[in-house]
Structure 1
């Protein structure tokens, strides 16, 4: 034992102050003979010693003396603190201790390096280190650098903001670093020792091929198995299609993401015997800790290892008739409890009070004010691209969609808990946390530092109210601001609204909505899509009786085709843009939806110029949402557009002839289908030759597999959902780094 280094067998659950929550848990398990890979912990005291011995402690304190509401100062503080830590020399004595421990662990051994926060008594602030584990670290030089990266993770912009705003000194927060022998997993995943929602005696095992990062990060849909602890049988085995896996590159030793071989993609990961082994270890850990556990595990050469264990915090108290009453799609993450308020008609939305659970067949733009008051949203219909899903994510509201019968299965006044992570609705309220309840883990409290990428990472915004939350993601701009939600929220069709209130009122409402987002993001660009509401959404508004009745509105009178057919209404939208430019919002860009060809592009450009917009001075472009536009993109580009943006929701369903909201063909709807990817690749190549920027703003912009493909193809920017921006940026950075390395190797 030294001041800087403690081995797992030297610590237990009572040593959080020295080794952090993660280190204490690993030591506790190692001392109780659980199969934990060996390792050591660089203590929190070592971190404090580095600051003191290198003389940077006061400099860091000075760097953090800022106005946290000033984003420029916050960014400068982050950059300065990170620069100081990464630039500080490692004291010789400490480096010798690390080197000696590494050699004792096994010189040349690949290790995993993870931060372990010690601020367990400060639950209200995001102090914990970033949790992007450094896998397959080799050699003492690289190990020292990764240790510094963990220390530097205390100074993300978000962590600094919370620390200063909560009034805590930098000295209140320390961090330890876990160094653990790497398990080159053949298969890995997580196991919940009891049902994570109900606490019932069923262990749930999730498994995928390769290293566990794929499962923990949500980058792959894992197999799901259920083990009944009473009957000792595997009662459920749902085998997923596992497209990606993380493995160690045999040439470089780095962790890389690769496609799962075809013969294993749809193959079951775990045998029944392996499921039982994993579940039994989970059961033992639950008995040891006296509470249900959430456990990360791995298997290599038929040996089972436990990588981490923490309490499950999602189990709900059940009423006598409790348990899961509904299941659907988890559309917006989190958990929330409240009283059910069933909304069957639009005039019932005033019944929704603050904290209610809104239950309805499907949401519409008029319901957004009620959605903001709700604790959670549950719908009968809809998928992950439905209005309810998109708006709930942007508002940060928990949501479960596509339950089939929520409006009949639930009763007004019922108290329920909605689990947006697992797509479940259970009877009863979420249990109130006790004062001594487990503190949030590092994973739950602090986002990882965001890398700089050559590919812009933007964010999708549906409603102006989400602008602040969207801006906090640090996105490079807005890749899609939907105008239809602003217009549909008027409660009247555009023609009816103009007839009742006049052209100026209609223009002003559009200006107000766009201005709120443009102001929040200035000078970052905000790409606004002109009106693209299908007729069935207009039918529900005042004046909707005059709308055409269409068998399939998604294929009908919408987007640019309606704009060109109703130029008087379209001109009012364009006049709203002109007013925004006159107000100084030169960061606003115009995007035209559902364009099929150059003729439509030229006609729209002429209308813009007639409305007083100089198309050579402003930034404007079109959406590529149909196979037709992808095939004639050369002609569209030649009309002078500055950018094209993929609308993958429509491009996928039009290419595959599969309605994205039709459950009967949901298995056909695949954004990564070779046909869809081929069209996108073609567009990027053509636009690159013509110096036209390319982007993606459909839901697939949040899909890791799609992001990787597009960055490799050379797309200019990617726009993701609010809750996916950080993950997408990290993935973009990894892909760009790999491409640079590949390029460098080819030059050699």
Structure 2
């Protein structure tokens, strides 16, 4: 058995030995591409490990009879297998070969015995990445399911990281994928890449075609100062250069002013560093570097015979290719359109067979406000109390006075939701939009007018409920949405709001640039136990495990993109039904009560458990998770929260920010920025109700609830201006971010990112793109205006 293969020994034909990523690196190395030196721990080493350690049969037994549709069972089995692998010692001969190779790579990337060499004074920083043997095959996309560990240093930590990569072959996601695609667990092996980390002064991405227009005659180069993490995560606006592929001449340059960069400090940690003023707004890449990267892109496209998306880094003036992968968006658009047409034809056939009533002849039973657009039909099931929830079966229409967090499992089964009360920011509206379920709120009388066990049709796009089952022609625009909007590239990042980790893959498929708000409340409610009760009973680890499971699911789905986790912000009335919730205080107005960061600081053990969960997620290699605190009204609240975070994380970098959702936070924003935060995010749902003195859950005053009120807009503008002064990122995660008018206003104010519901990501990106182009055009016209 051969444990180690160096890149020079590998080609694209060695997927079964070194996996897809390894074969790709070896192929590029032998093509003469400037690939950072490294080696592969071959798949046979993993196979030898599980066989000689006598855990192969144990793994098979653990996974035997697993129901992957049972999320809790799947996660528990995945954790059990991963813990087994992590706890098992690697045979000494395999371990020694890994250590020898690591200690050799600082001197040469050729296979040698490290004991025969005079070793360098320092170990190399390396990236340790998984490379599954089925990864990147045409019919088996395993990419992104296994782990990556960056800035690993020292032979002991390298060995641990290799074993952790092996364990990541059994994440819940990977197990689910294999079973659903008929792969035997023991037939899929895993190799591991160990590769020198590039400590880049410049980094970026090159596209061998123009991805926004699919123009195959253009090469796009995007660049930032510092480490590539900033550009990949969308934290900075990069320089963009267009190169003509035929003449290999630079056609245009779009230079941005980068105020800070990610850099690696002497301990290997990634930190933010302010860029000196003289360097800001200067061209990041020299012309010869732009053309050098364009030449690499052209060669790789020719070699692979496919358009390529290439990540690169420059250290000491030398270009390194970190990764290349095919650009598949054109094919995806075509496939999605074909699938949508197929589904629409199927729906029309079903409707024709069942002879539904034509919409022009249908009787309107109730009307309300659109909360989540869409069209569905089903049997009415009226459910307001917990003992009524079980009667709602898959495909029924849930009719209720108002939904609450306990009803989420019921909502998942419904084909549509209709409520008596609520506005566009109520629980039913927020949850249904994320789930993609048609929903009408604020009908006033649906529970009394609609009759149990009768067939109705819900046209949530127009806020109408019809008697019986009717036919409706799906607009062509719905088929063309992704084709029209999907490939737009905007300087303003478009992110999503997430409540349910189970929907993370679906949200990531929108092409969103990250998660601007990940709420914890529904993760907790799913456990049926009050988080403070768990801490009080000495069961803090249970709370941590619940959060790690949910947060890591979202972080993996958005790998390489920022995920901002909001600490708990549950009004006391929402947790009363949980075990241990009987001690929750009775408050007249919970929305103005003991919630947000004020409660978290009173119950510090609960807050620390949240931070410990995020630290655990970081230790899993998912360092794209940041944290923000809600309902801030004092500078001291931010200071205390930050101190608690530092108690848990020590010197490790983690993005830290706040929600701006109170007028108090607006007026003290400069003092908060001075304290040291990385970002803010507007919570416009609360900011609007606190500014306008309106209860957003009271349908009697819904007509006065307006996120576009001049007072609210003035507050937003004021905060963005202050944050720019202190180089703090700005975002929005309230429901207003899903409104095109608000999105256009935010772009004009210079916001860095907008978080929207997954169902409107493409629409908001389209609005943002138009607004950005209009701003550029206006600026160009001003420049062309004759001087007086």
| TM class, shorter-length | 0.5 to 0.7
2:649 matched to 1:475?
A: no
Partner in structure 1 of residue 173 of structure 2: none
Cα drift, residue 444 of structure 1: 3.1
TM-score by length of 1: 0.58
CA deviations 1:345-385 (Å, max 9, x no partner) are 12332222111111222112222122111111111221111
Q: Using the alignment, how far apart are the partners of 2:505 and 2:494 within structure 1?
A: 17
Counterpart-to-counterpart distance in 2, 1:332 and 1:163: 22
- Taking a change above 3 Å as real, the CA distance of residues 76 and 323 of structure 1, as seen in their structure-2 partners, is farther
1:524 has 2:564 as partner: no
For 1:318 and 1:501, the matched residues in 2 are separated by 61
TM-superposition CA deviations, 1:562-594 (whole Å, max 9, x none): 101111111111111111111111000101101
Residues 713-737 of structure 1: CA deviation (Å, up to 9, x unaligned):
1111111111111111111111111
Matches within 5 A, 1:8-157: 79=211, 82-84=214-216, 156=330
Cα offset for 1:164? 8.2
Q: Of 374, 378, 382, which residue of structure 1 is paired with 2:422?
A: 382
- For the structure 1 residues 378 and 501, does the alpha-carbon distance in structure 2 shift closer, same or farther, using more than 3 Å as the test? farther
Alignment size in residue pairs: 469
Kindly indicate whether residue 761 of structure 2 is the aligned counterpart of residue 725 of structure 1. yes
Q: Is residue 2:702 matched to residue 1:702?
A: no
Match of 1:503 in 2: 540
* Secondary structure, aligned partner of 1:459: strand
Matching residue of 2:398: 358
Q: Within 5 Å, give how 1:192-203 maps onto structure 2.
A: none
CA contact (8 A) 2:720 2:751 kept: yes
Instruction: Tell me whether 656-665 or 524-533 shows the greater mean CA deviation.
Output: 656-665
Q: Aligned runs of 1:230-269 on 2, under 5 Å?
A: none
Answering whether residue 572 of structure 2 is matched by residue 535 of structure 1, we say yes
| Pairing 1:621-640 to 2, within 5 Å after superposition | 621-640=657-676
Question: Which secondary structure state, in structure 1, belongs to the residue aligned with residue 428 of structure 2?
Answer: helix
User: What is the Cα deviation at residue 704 of structure 1?
Assistant: 1.6
Q: Does 1:573 align with 2:601?
A: no
1:465 counterpart residue number = 502
Deviation at 1:85, TM superposition (A): 8.4
Partner of 2:479: 444
Structure 1 unaligned residues grouped into runs of 5+: 1-64, 90-153, 169-314
User: 2:377 is matched with which residue?
Assistant: 337
Task: State which of 358, 366, 376 in structure 2 corresponds to 1:326.
Answer: 366
Q: Alpha-carbon deviations, 1:310-335, whole Å to 9, x = none?
A: xxxxx96289x961111111211111
Deviation string for 1:201-233 (max 9, x for gaps)? xxxxxxxxxxxxxxxxxxxxxxxxxxxxxxxxx
In the aligned structure 2, how far is the partner of 1:439 from the partner of 1:627?
A: 43
SS in 2 for 1:383: coil
Give the corresponding residue for 2:720.
Answer: 684
Name the CA distance, whole Å, in 2 between partners of 1:508 and 1:472: 26
Change (3 A) 1:417 1:165: closer
Match of 2:698 in 1: 662
Please give the alpha-carbon distance, in whole angstroms, between the structure 2 residues aligned to 1:344 and 1:508: 32
* CA gap 1:387/1:76 in 2 versus in 1, 3 angstroms: farther
Which stretch of the first structure deviates more once superposed, 403-412 or 692-701?
Answer: 403-412
1:429 equivalent to 2:446? Answer no
- The offset of 1:614, in angstroms, is 3.7
Equivalent position SS for 1:362: coil
Would you say the 8 A contact 2:337–2:480 is kept in 1?
Answer: no
TM-score, normalised with respect to structure 2: 0.55
Q: State the distance in 1 between where 2:727 and 2:506 align.
A: 32
Offset of residue 397 of structure 1? 0.8
Q: Does 1:562 align with 2:612?
A: no
Cα deviation code 1:276-333 (max 9, x no counterpart): xxxxxxxxxxxxxxxxxxxxxxxxxxxxxxxxxxxxxxx96289x9611111112111
SS in 2 for 1:622: strand
Q: What residue is the counterpart of 1:159 in the other structure?
A: 333
Give the drift of 1:677. Answer: 1.2
The answer for the alignment partner of 2:528 in structure 1 is: 491
Q: Distance in 1 between matches of 2:449 and 2:579?
A: 31
For the pair 1:398 / 2:434, whether they are aligned, the reply is: no
- Which secondary structure state, in structure 2, belongs to the residue aligned with residue 381 of structure 1? coil
The answer to whether the 8 Å contact 2:211/2:487 transfers is no
Q: Structure 2 vs 1, CA of residues 672 and 68 (structure 1 numbering), >3 Å: closer, same or farther?
A: farther
Q: Does 1:741 align with 2:777?
A: yes
Do 2:210 and 2:216's aligned partners in 1 also have CA atoms closer than 8 Å? no
Query: Is the partner of 1:527 in helix, strand or coil?
Result: strand
Provide the C-alpha distance between the structure 2 equivalents of 1:602 and 1:80, rounded to a whole number of angstroms. 43
Q: Which residue of 2 aligns with 1:410?
A: 450
CA distance in 2 between counterparts of 1:493 and 1:580 reads: 22
- How far is 1:80 from its partner? 10
Contact 1:450 1:730 in 2 (8 A): no
In 2, distance between residues paired with 1:745 and 1:316?
56
Deviation of the 1:654 alpha carbon: 0.7
Q: Secondary structure at the match of 1:418?
A: strand
Counterparts of 2:731 and 2:459, CA distance in 1: 33
Q: Residues of 2 paired with 1:76 and 1:365: CA distance? A: 47
3-state DSSP of counterpart to 2:632: coil
For residues 81 and 608 of structure 1, the distance between their equivalents in structure 2, rounded to whole angstroms, comes to 44
Runs of at least 5 residues in structure 2 that lack an aligned partner in the other structure: 1-136, 145-206, 219-243, 247-327, 343-354
